[in-house]
Structure 1
Amino acid sequence: MNTLSPEKKIVVLNSLVEGNSIRSTVRMTGVNKKTVMRLLVGVGEQAREILNGQLVNLHTRRVQVDEIWTYVGKKQKQVKEGESLEFGDQYVFVAMDAETKLVCAFIVGKRNYKLAHSFMKELQYRISTRFQLTTDSFAPYFNAVDTVFGEDVDYAQIHKEYAEEPDAERRYGPASIIRITIRPLIGEPKRAYISTSYIERQNLTMRMQMRRFTRLTNAFSKKLHNLECAVALHFFHYNFMRIHQTLRVTPAMEANVTRRIWEWSDLLNHDLAKVA
Structure 2
Amino acid sequence: MIKYEHTHYSKPRFHCRDYGRQFVEGATRQSIDESTRQLIDKLLLERLAPAAIARVTGVSPHWLQMYVNQKFYQTPKTIEVTQKNRGRLTIQLDEIWSYVGSKANKHWIWLAIDADSREIVGLFVGTRSRQDAKGLWQSLPAVYRQCAICYTDFWEAYQQVLPRKRHRVVSKETGQTSYIERFNNTLRQRIGRLVRKTLSFSKKLSNHIGAIWYFVHHYNDALRS
Q: State the TM-score bracket (shorter-chain normalisation).
A: 0.7 to 0.9
2: CA distance, partners of 1:239 / 1:207: 17
The 1:137–1:89 alpha-carbon spacing in structure 2 relative to 1, beyond 3 Å, is same
Equivalent runs, 1:45-60 vs 2, <5 Å:
45-49=73-77, 51-52=78-79, 54-55=80-81, 58-59=84-85
1:9 aligns with 2:37: yes
Q: Match for 2:170 among 146, 151, 158?
A: 158
Deviation digits for residues 117-167 of structure 1 (CA, Å, limit 9, x no counterpart): 121122253637512111111111111113xxx64xx2111246xxxxxxx
From 102, 105, 116, the counterpart of 2:133: 116
Counterpart-to-counterpart distance in 2, 1:220 and 1:227: 8
Distance of 1:47 and 1:92 partners within structure 2 = 17
- What TM-score results when the alignment is normalised by the length of structure 1? 0.64
The code of the aligned residue for 1:141 comes to: Y
| Structure 2 runs not aligned, ≥5 long | 1-30
The answer to whether the 8 Å contact 1:62/1:98 transfers is yes
Aligned residues: 193
- What residue identity is the alignment partner of 2:130? Y
Percent pairwise identity: 26
The one-letter code sitting in structure 2 at the alignment partner of 1:234 is F
- Farther-moved stretch of structure 1 (23-32 vs 120-129): 120-129
1:219 maps onto 2:219 in alignment? no
Contact 1:113 / 1:144 at 8 angstroms: preserved in 2? yes
Distance 2:62 2:113 in 1: 33
How far 1:37 sits from its partner (Å)? Answer: 2.5
Q: 2:219 aligns to what? A: 238
* Deviations, residues 236-273 of structure 1 (Å, cap 9, x unaligned): 11111x3xxxxxxx2xx2xxxxxxx3xxxxxxxxxxxx
- Tell me if 1:61 matches 2:89: yes
Read off the aligned partner of 1:61 and give its amino acid letter: L
The counterpart of 2:179, out of the listed 192, 198, 211, is 198
- Quick check: 2:92–2:152 contact (8 Å CA) kept in 1? yes
Match of 1:37 among 53, 58, 65: 65
Q: Name which structure has the greater RCO, CA cutoff 8 Å, separation 6+.
A: 1
The structure with the largest strand share of the pair is: 2
Query: What is the Cα deviation at residue 13 of structure 1?
Result: 1.4
Which secondary structure does the structure 1 equivalent of 2:75 belong to? helix
Q: Is the 8 A contact 2:122 2:137 kept in 1?
A: no
Q: Which structure: larger Rg? A: 2
Q: 1:70 aligns with which of 98, 103, 110?
A: 98
Q: Following TM superposition, by how much is the alpha carbon of 1:68 offset from its aligned partner in structure 2, in angstroms?
A: 1.2
Contact 1:57 1:127 in 2 (8 A): no
Q: Give me the TM-score of the superposition, normalised by structure 2.
A: 0.77
- Asked if the contact 2:81–2:119 (Cα under 8 Å) also holds between the matched residues in 1, the reply is no
